[in-house]
Structure 1
């Protein structure tokens, strides 16, 4: 059953939303025009979601913050839609985070904390997205990045300034928090605490009705649980590809062009010589001459070097100019004047006196214009084809910018348009068993899911070889599936939900039997249903820690109950109800030298620091006064989910 726990107890968004949005704030993409240019509702102040101190937080702020939060989360979950995000409580978290940030900034300004232009500039320069190819801050990259987010320089600076003030106000409150050893010891000992008990599951399916619901029951259930049936956005991508052959015949290079290229690359066609050398460098000329004489007399350069406690180095094949750069011009001249197998005359470089033996000579004769002609023609022809290829791509981009359709451009280029099956943002064919989008679309898929319908674009599918023409031909927004299309699924879910209600009542009966003296296994068996067997548990918290997995909720509850008590816990997605029976608790003990002690101290000190920061944020909200406009927040929610247009 523990495997069942692991399978079912997983958060939909959880901490990920909070962390992603906090990171989002740090790069100043969380808010927009504080003037509240959007208008919602018919009540006074309907374009404001809140007033924080003297600062007005507009509907545009909240809308942009929610959109950017979803964009950030889509980096890990491309199929996440705005309705799903909101249905899982994402908008509420965005509201709280946004208002906290504004409140903290207001509090900071109230007490004289500022973020100057120089500090803001330095923070902007540190953001990787704003760096150019050389790794330094690039003004064009910065302007382009904020423009794509629909922001201006002034808005980014205002928002980043607020975030910097928030860092100055909140971070010190939790910095360096440390709990005393005595308190840490009490907490750490909990990891050694042993608990014995049992967990049973009363599955909804065992209690679910077998009959179908009435039409009214089904409609009410579907209406109350629409968010469970949200489908991801799907797009049909229309596309075509073309390569360098799309430019047709290329004019042959002229005689003048061939001659000019031969002259330009004269070094490539000139005679050349490379040598393989064995080299030993000595500190004095006398030592070098002595070794040269021995080698000329028949001794091995390698053996003589070893006798001297040195090692000869192999160089090459290397050209005369390269060797001259490494050693000196005189050393290179001597080495390239010697014959194969000879030791060159001793010459000096900045490193010392060189003993150089010629081990190999590779001479390549020069080539005349006539000899190199065919190679030059092939090179020039390929270059002309690439230029024409790139000019064709530039012309296509201009035509798209002028409003020409994908069909018209594809016809001109002479390529056939293909259409995909409906795809999700993850590149999976919707409704398939993992069927992938065509490989040629992989590089452009992310862009295709940000485009408006019928706005074609050009992209490189295979750099330097193949271009891709593509557009979003048919967009199906993310929305709850119509009841008529998922009727059987909703009926099954209704049965499970009804079964969960009866399972809850059964859990109460089981707990009553256990309190009357029966074991949990006997109490569940008395239900006369086909139910999973009861898990008998004998665990410490350290055992749970060693699993390095998320602790299932029933086990977490087991370790928070009083000895001799029973609790019931609802399973996720109407799977049923757990009954937890805790028989005994054995207190744990821990030594300060135990690594677990230091680990616990660090963890609980960090938790204490987080608590200080949270309490400060709550106190700041009270100090600056925060008034929310629930009507405007609801209007934003309706617009983001598309309900406002229905």
Structure 2
């Protein structure tokens, strides 16, 4: 009976948040890999569309420098034509050369201009071209190498084409599937869509909104379920299934809310051992409080604290002396031990009771002596105190001066005008406005 009463009195302590059971099935690029494999016809069509890419081509590696004015560009080009390294000459002038490797003429023209590309691709290996006018100055370029890329047959280009076509086809299939699911949701059940599309449905355990399974508290939540749970906790019982995007690759999940477990305390039968432990700790805590309260009463009644403790007949920890300055509370109050903080709120020769951290017991605090502070010789404390007093005195002088002026000339208060000004300063309508 005592255990049941304790449990009923502390239901909030054992209350579980709302949990939900969710059914879902996912579609990802992996699940569509077989369907997304490019066919021979698709590969052939892509090869034909990209014929220029796979045709034989002249490739050039070009080192170029952009110079701000023509005179400097002429000087730089002359040094390079004289045999100096274009990279060294450019860096000596505070410029950074750019190397364009294995580029075709059309691509280089897009990066620079048709005029510059024509000049560079008309030159031979080792030739210096320019200076040529560019949008940001003048270009000096050197042809580092020239080579011919052999044409690729359809068979040779197939691996590259497959690698580029498969992601495109996968994205298109995922979009098509999701659109089809969205169209069918109003008239087809979750199970019907799963069966028709040969998907694998999964059911979560009862989870919180953050993905925790309270039946296995040591297990970590699965980040992959975050968007699925967000959709499930936004749904109401009876809502139709929905599709939920899962990532940038087009993956999505078909999600339906299976069950809602409202917030409620765990049944006593399930957590009896935990409640028994808590009940015993609570009873021990209350018993300790009774003993400590009697010690405090005896000490405040004139009994010496050691005798009051001895009178309990219990084996208690030895008394621990605690000393400290008030400055400790001001400097870093968060790190001051609670018994020390309590002492500065107590008169001398008094005893008080303080609950220990984590409800682990009770601390009896007896203030024996108070030693008045003495700042003599402590320049830092004196200077700080003077500053504090100066601020207070300054405000007091201002207040007294204002009062003296009022008394000398006589004043009246216009309550309506004051209210109007206050409202205006606060950004509100003036007091005389409706």
On whether the aligned pair clears a TM of 0.5, the verdict is: yes
Q: Distance in 2 between matches of 1:562 and 1:505?
A: 23
Is structure 2 residue 63 aligned with structure 1 residue 277?
yes
Q: Distance in 1 between matches of 2:4 and 2:232?
A: 36
What's the counterpart of residue 518 of structure 1? 304
What whole-Å deviation, never above 9, does each CA across 1:93-140 have from its counterpart, x for those lacking one? xxxxxxxxxxxxxxxxxxxxxxxxxxxxxxxxxxxxxxxxxxxxxxxx
Change (3 A) 1:248 1:453: farther
What's the counterpart of residue 506 of structure 1? 291
Q: Distance in 1 between matches of 2:156 and 2:322?
A: 86
Change (3 A) 1:472 1:563: farther
Contact 2:11 2:265 in 1 (8 A): yes
SS where residue 245 of structure 2 aligns? strand
Q: Distance in 1 between matches of 2:125 and 2:331?
A: 69
What's the counterpart of residue 26 of structure 2? 241
Is structure 2 residue 131 aligned with structure 1 residue 315?
no
Deviation at 1:278, TM superposition (A): 4.1
SS where residue 323 of structure 2 aligns? strand
TM-score (norm 1): 0.48
SS where residue 234 of structure 2 aligns? coil
Contact 1:243 1:466 in 2 (8 A): yes
If each structure's helix is expressed as a fraction of its own residues, which one has the higher value? 1
Q: Distance in 2 between matches of 1:252 and 1:319?
A: 28
Structure 1 residue runs without a partner (length 5+): 1-214, 602-615, 617-646
Q: Distance in 2 between matches of 1:381 and 1:351?
A: 41
Deviation at 1:379, TM superposition (A): 5.0
TM-score (norm 2): 0.68
Q: Distance in 2 between matches of 1:574 and 1:517?
A: 27
SS where residue 235 of structure 1 aligns? strand
Q: Distance in 1 between matches of 2:360 and 2:160?
A: 73
Equivalent of 1:558 in 330, 336, 343: 343
Q: Distance in 2 between matches of 1:336 and 1:500?
A: 91
Change (3 A) 1:492 1:390: same
SS where residue 304 of structure 2 aligns? coil
SS where residue 181 of structure 2 aligns? helix
Is structure 2 residue 216 aligned with structure 1 residue 424?
no
Contact 2:17 2:262 in 1 (8 A): yes
Change (3 A) 1:586 1:473: farther
Contact 2:66 2:137 in 1 (8 A): no
Deviation at 1:413, TM superposition (A): 2.0
What whole-Å deviation, never above 9, does each CA across 1:15-46 have from its counterpart, x for those lacking one? xxxxxxxxxxxxxxxxxxxxxxxxxxxxxxxx
SS where residue 212 of structure 2 aligns? coil
Within-5 A mapping of 1:474-623: 474-515=259-300, 516=302, 518-519=304-305, 523-524=308-309, 526-532=311-317, 534-540=319-325, 543=328, 554=339, 556-570=341-355, 575-583=360-368, 584=370, 586-587=372-373, 591=381
Equivalent of 2:235 in 451, 461, 471: 451
SS where residue 222 of structure 1 aligns? helix
Equivalent of 1:415 in 191, 196, 199: 199
Structure 2 residue runs without a partner (length 5+): 392-421, 423-434
SS where residue 581 of structure 1 aligns? strand
What's the counterpart of residue 292 of structure 1? 77
Q: Distance in 2 between matches of 1:305 and 1:384?
A: 47
Deviation at 1:313, TM superposition (A): 1.8
Query: Which is greater in Rg?
Result: 2
* Matched residues, number: 378
Change (3 A) 1:426 1:382: closer
1 or 2 for the larger relative contact order (CA 8 Å, sep ≥6)? 1
Q: Distance in 2 between matches of 1:302 and 1:252?
A: 46
Equivalent of 2:143 in 335, 339, 358: 358
Contact 2:91 2:97 in 1 (8 A): no
Deviation at 1:357, TM superposition (A): 2.3
SS where residue 128 of structure 2 aligns? coil
Deviation at 1:277, TM superposition (A): 0.4
Deviation at 1:343, TM superposition (A): 1.5
